[in-house]
Structure 1
Amino acid sequence: MADNQELGAPMLDRWLVFFALVFAGNVQAAERSISVATWNLGWHVDLETAKVWITECGKKFVKDPSTNRWNAATGDEGTVAWDIDGYSINGWDHTRFPVCGVYYDGKTVRVTPSAYKERQQRTADFIRTSLSADVIAFQEVSGIQAVKEILPGGGADFDLCEVTPASDYKVQRLVIAWKKTLGSQVSCETEESLALRNNPERFQPRPGLAVTLNVDGRLLRILAVHLKSSCVSPLGGGDLAGSREDCEVLQQQIDPLEAWVESNTADEAKVVLLGDFNRNLFHELRDQTPVRTDLSSPADTRQAGALSRSLLEEVADGKPATSDLSLVNEECVTDIVGKMLCVYGETRSLTPAERSLLGSASYLGCRNPVGLDHILVGPGFKVDDLIARHIGIGTEGATKAGRDDGSDQRLAISDHCPLTVDLTF
């Protein structure tokens, strides 16, 4: 018996190691890794809409000198819409069509149907080869059909969620697409509060779009945003608490955005907030000005009249703890010079020459390379060494007018580069 007992101790140790390994394996198997991306596609519409849009842009209009606005011409005289600021045309259906000056090469490019179809194919090829994310949040798209046309297999392996009703919003809409193998849809909701519908129409920005998925029995909730533009940086003249109209509108979006975060993290769902914020959130962290004009803490209820200078520090204030979002660090997938420019872009405003270089085809290739698009994650994700990557689009970001007859025309697939991150929860 003594000999058997002596042999039993190491045997027991082996069993303990075995069960520990099995347990560790089960824990690892319970984790889920997913890739999430955000991409502003720049006035992207489906092919059928593009054909009608091109026809509309070829119609003539006459300027009313008393209002400086344009009305449809009744005769042969007039100026084609390609050569007019689309926001000044009376009756232009902004819920269906982009403005005509989307593509530019020294002057507005008069888009041809064949060039737009070719752009659509190149966008699809780029996604297939360079953006194989499980979830992609698109901004500035006309709707689900426009996204299906650029997803692999026409979107057959994806489920999609879009802003509804589309007729209520301008053509720069949001669509979230996710692989069917990721999980099932629990809800798809337009975040109407971000659209500020009580404002005059010209001060009504875009709504948000939220989708909740059941992933392995856990809730994954994603909010895509495309916030008010032209109030980009507190380090570059974009004082969020200032008197500029664009900044005043963005200021109004802070409270509904924070309310969404606090409400939708209360059930301990895994939350991702991403999109085109039109705001350099890293600059907000480096700005030493007090967050609020009344010097109160961003974790406290904001009193009437108090303005915030930092969208990030207001929304991700750590209170309640379940709503404590983390801004994911970013890097650029390019050479050492491009990587350095991206780092500089987080600490200061890039000079025009630096931004032009970073946005050139030799580097990222998109006119808006950094500082606008971001990804934030809530509690429950592994955030150690988490890095979001700006994926360069190279020559695909350039538009070329081609010959006068419209041949050899080449349209940029976007003025933004996609931003993607791998998450584990």
Structure 2
Amino acid sequence: MGCHPREDADYAALRGHADRLDADIIAFQEVENVAAAARVFSPDRYTIVMSQRPVSRRGGACYGRPGKTIRNQAVGYAIRKALPFIRNPDLSALGLGNADLRWGVDVTIGTARPLRLLAVHLKSGCNTGWAATDRDCDTLFAQLPVLERWIDARAASGESFAVLGDWNRRLARRSDAFYAEINDADPPGADLDLAAGDKRATCKARYSEFIDHIVTGRAATARIVPGSFVEFTYGLPESAHPSDHCPVAIRVAS
């Protein structure tokens, strides 16, 4: 739950948007618990998988709302019930031992041609550049080797994989230091692609660069249906969006 708790009407609207999105797999962030997720993703259609990170007992203060704090923000998936999947251990190392940092949620979808997915919500406050004196950048770049080890392990084992979610980083910016470090093609297969390509974000008029990304390794990139990337902007004016983020999606060949 954030600083503005959802009402019943908000959940109904969100479920309507989820139905229109009609995705087989949705990675989500900033959800308090399974019960809240199930109010958006119909339990008769989706299985909810969420991070097993213990709930932090410290909540950040809500600006302009005295006495209100941000409650648990978890990462997870809604997976269409027809899809077989394996739950792999959470990437708890992304938390850096800090109870307030989110873990990655790791699943393998399918059996004949499995697709390994890692849902993330990385540290905010360092969307461009890097400064050693910036605590947010210091934390984000401490998460980098954890993420890179996961990527390299998948590539080394020949897996088809993607990392998706809120990276809190403008990865497509030319010579971005964070993306350049993980996109080093070592080992072979660890060369990465941004599913958005050179497309510009349209969710919020003031931001033209994505911070929500679907990043694929070589094998998964080859399975993306050409031209399938889409940003879902709810079909509403920006002022009526139910979130300050808009879903991004691709189609992957089974």
- How high is the TM-score relative to the length of structure 1? 0.51
User: How far apart, in 1, do the equivalents of 2:192 and 2:198 lie?
Assistant: 19
Contact kept? 1:143, 1:174, Cα under 8 Å: no
Aligned pair count reads 239
Contact kept? 1:281, 1:311, Cα under 8 Å: yes
Equivalent residue letter for 2:192: L
In the TM superposition, residue 312 of structure 1 has moved relative to its aligned partner by 1.2
**Structure 2 residue 170 is matched with structure 1 residue 275:** no
Match of 2:213 among 374, 394, 403: 374
Aligned positions of 1:243-262 closer than 5 A: 243-262=133-152
Aligned positions of 1:161-200 closer than 5 A: 161-167=49-55, 171-182=72-83, 184-197=84-97
Contact kept? 1:262, 1:323, Cα under 8 Å: yes
Match of 2:7 among 87, 112, 116: 116
Partner of 1:315: 182
User: How far apart, in 1, do the equivalents of 2:225 and 2:17 lie?
Assistant: 29
Equivalent residue letter for 1:122: A
Equivalent residue letter for 2:155: T
Unaligned runs of 5+ in 1: 1-42, 44-97, 104-110, 234-238, 288-308, 333-341, 346-354, 361-366, 400-411
Aligned positions of 1:257-336 closer than 5 A: 257-283=147-173, 286-287=174-175, 310-330=177-197
Aligned positions of 1:222-241 closer than 5 A: 222-233=117-128, 239-241=129-131
Unaligned runs of 5+ in 2: 58-70
Identity %: 27
In the TM superposition, residue 256 of structure 1 has moved relative to its aligned partner by 0.2
Partner of 2:40: 150
Equivalent position SS for 1:413: coil
Q: Deviations over 1:291-339 (max 9, x none)?
A: xxxxxxxxxxxxxxxxxx612111121010132221213577xxxxxxx
Partner of 2:64: none
User: How far apart, in 2, do the equivalents of 1:324 and 1:245 lie?
Assistant: 29
User: How far apart, in 2, do the equivalents of 1:242 and 1:331 lie?
Assistant: 29
Contact kept? 1:223, 1:273, Cα under 8 Å: yes
Equivalent residue letter for 1:206: R
User: How far apart, in 2, do the equivalents of 1:318 and 1:263 lie?
Assistant: 12
In the TM superposition, residue 124 of structure 1 has moved relative to its aligned partner by 0.4
Contact kept? 1:368, 1:415, Cα under 8 Å: no
Equivalent residue letter for 1:192: S
Larger CA Rg, structure 1 vs 2 = 1
Q: Deviations over 1:128-155 (max 9, x none)?
A: 12x111110001111222111112xx22
In the TM superposition, residue 127 of structure 1 has moved relative to its aligned partner by 1.1
Match of 1:127 among 18, 21, 37: 18
**Structure 2 residue 51 is matched with structure 1 residue 212:** no
Q: Deviations over 1:168-221 (max 9, x none)?
A: 586110111111222x22224221111111x5x6xx5211111112x2423211
Partner of 1:420: 249
Equivalent residue letter for 1:380: A
Larger RCO (CA under 8 A, 6+ residues apart): 1
Q: Deviations over 1:54-91 (max 9, x none)?
A: xxxxxxxxxxxxxxxxxxxxxxxxxxxxxxxxxxxxxx
